[in-house]
Amino acid sequence: MKLIFRGVRGSIPVPGPKTLRYGGNTTCLEIRGNRNELIILDAGTGLYQLALTLFGELPVTAHLFITHTHWDHIQGLPFFIPAFIPGNSIHIYGAFDPVDQKNIRQILARQMEYCYFPVREAELKATLRYTTLKERQTVPVGSVTVSNILMNHPVLNFGYRVACDGKSIFFTGDHEQLYNIYAPEDEEWAEYRHYVNEKNKAIIDFIRGVDILVADTSYTIQDYPQKKGWGHSTFDANIDMARAAGIKTVYFTHHEPIRSDDDLERVFQEALDRKNVAALGPACYLAAEGVTVSL
């Protein structure tokens, strides 16, 4: 199984001289199974970069799993060139929106209405199939299985575990470790504390022992107090999560768009030193566009 990073920034694309080393495109991961099955996690602007590599293997069958439908995770989909080519098959998976009561197809089709994009979803030439997922549902894709768990973000967000022949990768999507929203003196504090503990434990159990954790790491511990509740995590929290789940390798992604590559490397190193990663592990890396990891 191979993992290729196609987009690693969060919130908004930031191409330019200060983001050349790690890349400026928003979230997109390419995973290849041992039989070359094409699994895509999220459809940020990195999806266009992936599309440019696929012409040599037409017709394409792609399985695209959406963690959630915020713009930075879907804005590349209208520019996914294989969707315009007859003979290709695009299978798209994602969550139901309980607020607007729409399934994944209805949600994604809205960004291809004429007021936003000149080509409607119904005019695409590839065969598109949609599956609205339930939590803990497992999808087989050849030699690969993709399963999900609900994470913590202001909109419904799935984290995906991708497994193939005994190897596994987990991608958090956008996720903030749960915390108690009540003060200790509130009567709801103890009950909510129990819920938080159970939910965090469920996530740890779900990801336990994966070979690679790819984690939303938008913030530092210095950023976090001002952004608590925004649905994103820190270097420190993700290192703790990896240690609790027995994960040996972590790639930090969804890099804060205001950080240059130099700033990103600085805060990354500060976190490694603070958490004594050199001595205690896990192995930690900054995700960068184009980097391929083989398992």
Residue 168 pLDDT exceeds 90: yes
- Label residue 92 exposed, middle or buried (CB < 10 Å: 0-12, 13-18, 19+): buried
Tell me the C-alpha distance between 10 and 5, whole Å: 13
Position 286 scores a pLDDT of: 98
Separation between Cα atoms, residue 23 and residue 18, nearest integer Å: 9
- The answer to whether residues 149 and 139 touch, using CB atoms and an 8 Å cutoff, is no
| Whole-number average pLDDT of the chain | 96
Mean pLDDT to the nearest integer, 199-213: 97
**DSSP assignment of 221-274, as one string?**
TTTHHHHTTSS--BHHHHHHHHHHTT--EEEEESB-TT--HHHHHHHHHHHHHH
The answer to whether residue 247 scores a pLDDT higher than 90 is yes
pLDDT in tens, 128-141: 999 999 999 999 99
pLDDT of residue 98: 87
CATH assignment of the domain containing 207: 3.60.15.10
Using the predicted structure, report yes or no on whether residue 79 has a pLDDT greater than 90: yes
**Residue with structure tokens 């001002």?**
226
- Arithmetic mean of pLDDT, 66-74: 97
71 has a pLDDT exceeding 90: yes
Other CB atoms within a 10 A radius of the CB of residue 184 amount to: 8
Question: Residue 180: is it exposed, middle or buried by C-beta count within 10 angstroms (0-12/13-18/19+)?
Answer: middle
Is the confidence at residue 104, as pLDDT, over 90?
yes
pLDDT band at 99, cuts 50/70/90?
confident
Which residues partner with 162 through β-bridges? Answer: 146, 169
Share of the chain above pLDDT 90, in %: 98
Q: How many residues are there in the chain?
A: 295
With b meaning 16 or more CB within 10 Å and e meaning fewer, what string describes 223-246? bbeeeeeebbbbbbbbbebbbebe
Question: Domain count of the chain?
Answer: 1
- Burial (CB count within 10 angstroms: exposed 0-12, middle 13-18, buried 19+), residue 70: buried
Mean pLDDT of 61-84: 97
Structure confidence at residue 266 (pLDDT)? 98
What pLDDT score was predicted for residue 100?
Answer: 87
Mean pLDDT, residues 108-128:
93
258 phi and psi angles, rounded to 5 deg:
-75, -10
Give the global pTM. 0.96
User: Does residue 147 contact residue 136 with C-beta atoms inside 8 Å?
Assistant: yes
Give the residue numbers spanning the domain of 36: 2-294
